[in-house]
Chains A and B, each alone.
Chain A
Amino acid sequence: MYGSSTTMFDLRTVTAPVGAPELGLISAAVAELGQYYKLPTYVAGV
């Protein structure tokens, strides 16, 4: 199993918001890596 639950870090609020568009961008990249490795892949989000 491959995957990652990653989002951006907002330095203004000092939080890691999972509702940010960056979560989608990063998860898309993680999914592509998973496909490349031919592994079942999980990402965060809805």
Chain B
Amino acid sequence: MLAGANLIYGAGMLELGQTVSLEQLVIDNEIIAMCKRATRGIPVSEETIALDVIKAVKQTGNFIAQRHTKKYMGEEQSFPLLFSREMRGTWERKRGKRDLAEVAHEKVKEILRTHEVPPIDRDIREEILKVIKSFEKKEMH
């Protein structure tokens, strides 16, 4: 990713691609999101450095209560959809001890039940059909 490859394939693949798993696909999607977050980096500006906030808080105060923290938390912090960040006790009580495979399976079922493939724009569709027709014409001669 850091070297600049435009496409890294393999999402959802098991056994060198002899098997494709939808559950593995949503897990890989989660890992890819983490990689993308890490490679996106952090915007560094006077505003995000927040030197005045650090000065105000110093060593004894707390950053969590700062408006600056709240403002940037939502847009800057990573947030996994499937991976559990709870400690074991919370995971057992609140997540029903569900492991990643189970969580991924639920996600797959939800996507298959609710996802609608967005239709291709009419003009793009017509353009594609034109290309196919012109190719078929050439093939016939």
Co-assembled chains A and B: yes
Interface on A for B, CB 8 Å cutoff?
Answer: 8-13, 15, 17, 19-22, 24-25
CA distance A22 to B37 in the complex (A): 8
Interface on B for A, CB 8 Å cutoff?
Answer: 34-35, 37-38, 41-42, 64, 73, 77-79, 83, 85-87, 90
CA distance A21 to B76 in the complex (A): 11
| Closest residue on chain B to residue A8 by CB atoms | B77
Judged by DSSP, the binding face of A is: loop
Known: A11-B64, A13-B85, A17-B85. A25 touches B42 (CB 8 A): yes
Q: Are A25 and B35 in contact (CB under 8 A)?
A: no
Q: Are B90 and A8 in contact (CB under 8 A)?
A: no
